[in-house]
Structure 1
Amino acid sequence: MPHRTLNVPEHGMIDAYHAELAARGYEADPAQEAAVKRLQQLYSELLGYKVARQSMLRKLFNKPVEPTSVYFWGGVGRGKSFLMDCFFDAMPYQRKRRVHFHAFMHEVQNDLKTLNHLPDPLQTVARRISEQVRLLCFDEFHVSDIADAMILGRLLTALFERGVIFVMTSNYPPDGLYPNGLQRINFLPTIDMLKERFSVIEVDYGTDYRLRTLEQLEIYLVPDDETAAARMNEDFFKISGFEGEPGQIEVLGRQLTARRIAPGVIWFDFAALCGGPRSQNDYLELAREHHTVLISGVPVMSAAMSNEARRFTWLTDALYDHGVNLTMPAAPPPADPY
């Protein structure tokens, strides 16, 4: 049934969720039920809010009540990004954006540097964002950088004041954000604000969607045997049309060694890509610059390789978000590192 005023489905989030489940051959996960219901509620609230804001009577007499933003969290692979994508695609807003949180903060920090001649550049950044976006969806919300931690509270407050509504996914509850961070005591008001202004929903203990995401990513597996290197050489040439050369690329000011480089295609050893200190922004930048990534030497990751496993998770998230193809040896899939 369509919404009584807007020509859109009344139960758009739930409809989109079940349609996407059917398209992927999934079954509804009971662990996601509360999140699905809350996102449907937000969908309805946003539609009602849109109608109320367009009503001349409401404009004359009172301001409509703003919808409550949503923050849902849970372990890796619980389908949080899947749920947010269903909601985002269903929501009939033009001024909406879905973005990886670290990519968003990278943009904000760059804008602040550009505007540092102004008395309060953060307010200018918030105004510009709010002029473009009414609904802002953050995937993988997490704070690990002190520069982000010190401005996040003011930024979110400034966006709230300008009517921006949020949907956020995170692996952590609000109280678990910025753990052991420098000057964390100054970040605690931001945590309190998140708990006060968001509906906080836990999504956990259901189907592991991380492996399903890896299945959906365009992954081309080659046998993990003595011929793997030769096969990947062949694949590299077929994909790129070039033999490629070993070399280094610069990613956010740091050098990264590659086995082969060609326009739009790059081949790494796992150790070079995930074995050392890398950030999510590194992988996002890599995904933006290439349409295909090849990785050799991918191990079966044990608990002792939790750092490598976390970086591999960041990498596959970035590749998936940007539609990048991935070729790697067909070793057993990495276990959930968390």
Structure 2
Amino acid sequence: MASSLECCVRARAEEFGFTLNDAQRSALMALQEMTGRLSVPSSVVDGLPGARWLRRVRRPMPVQGVYLCGDVGRGKSFLMDAFYDCVPIERRARLHFHAFMQAMHERLAPLKGRRNPLALVAADLAREVRLLCLDEFQITDIGDAMLIRGLLQELFTRGVAIVMTANSEPAGLYPNGLQRERFLPTIALIKANMVVVPFTGDEDYRLAGSAEGAFGVSEQAFPALFRALTTDSGDGADVSMQAGTTLQASAGRSLQARCYRNGVAWFDFAELCAANLGKADYIALAGQVHTLLLSGVRQFDETSLDSACRFMWLVDTLYDHEVTLICSAAVPIQHLGHDGLLDGAFRRVRSRLTEMQSCVEGLVWGERAVP
């Protein structure tokens, strides 16, 4: 007989018009087993004879997390989110990995100079959550690589159940990264404490039903598109009245939009991706808009890898915050990396842009305007 958790997740899938495939069913089984191993709630212990003594000697049961990995659009995030919504655990949190790391840096900052600050942060987090779901786990720099190792070790020790989604198996994390050998113990830690469930198959659910190349609009259409997206405000204001609006980034920085009104912002690519911005800036921006128009996306080569990385951060952050992103570029997205330079890295970007822009019909990346 199917459990209530399984029934709930399957029902959620049916709402979106599909049934779970073999990989997703295997992942759901691993998630159910993990849920069953979670430590007994404190309320149960409180009702037992000798509860005061039990609270002093009780240690969290070992709980294996679940690591969902596979190519973009295979349903990893959907399954994790459906599980998160259905699982009967009150103390839980679901975050994009970028946002999680930003929060950890913010918690660590006041503890500078304290002994073993990671243990203090992990202890606080373990008191707040029993289940932690992290979407799009990836390591891009040695600083985060070292931080996540200690943090995961502390959280595993404290019995926090962790679910991650990632595009690569643990062995493929941080490829060709600076001092990658220092990250290898983290890979071993993940393998020892998490059940790795690969999502196989060729179908990208985000691309299903979309036309090849339908990823954006020509920049000439942006003024009309901006007006169309903001005409429901009823204020009768002209677009130019709010041209040059400044929006807030992190750490007191500001971002100059070409136009802004009622949660719709139009930015030049150079302002958001050529400038020295980070993930925290994009998170701050995502909190101020529901739709973002980005004009002038360039083709990336060996001289513009920093801009390419920021573009990927921007897409990931906006996607996770459910912000619609509409882009214009001189080339189709499959050619953004010159000579195939970024083919692998942009698979996720292409998939997510397709999903975010599916509400804008008849748009073709850099080829024709809005009808």
1:205 to 201, 204, 207: 201
Determine the structure 2 residue equivalent to 1:37.
29
- Shift of residue 70 of structure 1? 0.7
Determine the structure 2 residue equivalent to 1:21.
13
**Secondary structure in 1 matching 2:19:** coil
**Secondary structure in 2 matching 1:323:** coil
Determine the structure 2 residue equivalent to 1:158.
154
CA–CA distance in structure 2, aligned partners of residues 208 and 325 of structure 1: 19
Alpha carbons 1:264, 1:289 under 8 Å: kept: yes
Q: After superposition, give the CA deviation of every residue in 1:260-306 in whole Å (9 maximum; x if it has no partner).
A: 1346331124565457776544433321232332334679x899999
**Secondary structure in 1 matching 2:137:** coil
**1:138 has 2:134 as partner:** yes
CA–CA distance in structure 1, aligned partners of residues 277 and 35 of structure 2: 36
Determine the structure 2 residue equivalent to 1:54.
44
- How many correspondences in the alignment? 322
Tell me which moved more, 190-199 or 283-292: 283-292
2:94 to 91, 98, 104: 98
Q: After superposition, give the CA deviation of every residue in 1:65-114 in whole Å (9 maximum; x if it has no partner).
A: 43311111111111111010011111111110000112111111122111
Distance change (3 Å), C-alpha of 1:109 and 1:266: same
Q: After superposition, give the CA deviation of every residue in 1:309-333 in whole Å (9 maximum; x if it has no partner).
A: 876664444334323344567x999
Distance change (3 Å), C-alpha of 1:20 and 1:232: same
Alpha carbons 1:174, 1:191 under 8 Å: kept: yes
Determine the structure 2 residue equivalent to 1:180.
176
CA–CA distance in structure 2, aligned partners of residues 139 and 58 of structure 1: 40
**Secondary structure in 2 matching 1:261:** strand
- Shift of residue 63 of structure 1? 6.3
CA–CA distance in structure 1, aligned partners of residues 280 and 138 of structure 2: 13
**1:116 has 2:120 as partner:** no
Q: After superposition, give the CA deviation of every residue in 1:176-206 in whole Å (9 maximum; x if it has no partner).
A: 2222222322221111111111111111224
- Could you state the TM-score of these two structures normalised by the residue count of structure 1? 0.77
Distance change (3 Å), C-alpha of 1:176 and 1:138: same
Distance change (3 Å), C-alpha of 1:22 and 1:314: farther
**Secondary structure in 2 matching 1:283:** helix
Alpha carbons 1:84, 1:137 under 8 Å: kept: yes
Distance change (3 Å), C-alpha of 1:231 and 1:167: closer
Determine the structure 1 residue equivalent to 2:258.
259
Alpha carbons 1:81, 1:169 under 8 Å: kept: yes
Alpha carbons 1:214, 1:316 under 8 Å: kept: no
Identity value in percent: 39
Q: After superposition, give the CA deviation of every residue in 1:239-262 in whole Å (9 maximum; x if it has no partner).
A: 595532125545346665432134
Determine the structure 1 residue equivalent to 2:227.
233
CA–CA distance in structure 1, aligned partners of residues 127 and 184 of structure 2: 29
- Shift of residue 39 of structure 1? 1.9
Distance change (3 Å), C-alpha of 1:313 and 1:25: farther
**Secondary structure in 2 matching 1:266:** strand
Alpha carbons 2:122, 2:154 under 8 Å: kept: yes
Determine the structure 2 residue equivalent to 1:10.
3
**1:293 has 2:286 as partner:** no
Determine the structure 2 residue equivalent to 1:4.
none
**1:245 has 2:238 as partner:** no
CA–CA distance in structure 1, aligned partners of residues 320 and 233 of structure 2: 21
Alpha carbons 1:58, 1:64 under 8 Å: kept: no
Q: Which amino acid aligns with 1:113?
A: A
Determine the structure 2 residue equivalent to 1:218.
none
Determine the structure 2 residue equivalent to 1:6.
none
Tell me which moved more, 177-186 or 205-214: 205-214
Q: Which amino acid aligns with 1:16?
A: C
Q: After superposition, give the CA deviation of every residue in 1:126-159 in whole Å (9 maximum; x if it has no partner).
A: 1111110110111111111222111222111111
CA–CA distance in structure 2, aligned partners of residues 193 and 223 of structure 1: 45
CA–CA distance in structure 1, aligned partners of residues 182 and 327 of structure 2: 43
Q: Which runs of 5+ in 2 are unaligned?
A: 335-342, 348-371
Distance change (3 Å), C-alpha of 1:182 and 1:308: closer
CA–CA distance in structure 2, aligned partners of residues 75 and 307 of structure 1: 23
Distance change (3 Å), C-alpha of 1:26 and 1:70: same
CA–CA distance in structure 2, aligned partners of residues 78 and 99 of structure 1: 19
**1:66 has 2:62 as partner:** yes
CA–CA distance in structure 2, aligned partners of residues 75 and 279 of structure 1: 25
Q: Which amino acid aligns with 2:121?
A: V
Q: Which runs of 5+ in 1 are unaligned?
A: 2-8, 216-220
Alpha carbons 1:292, 1:324 under 8 Å: kept: yes
CA–CA distance in structure 1, aligned partners of residues 7 and 193 of structure 2: 27
**Secondary structure in 2 matching 1:289:** coil
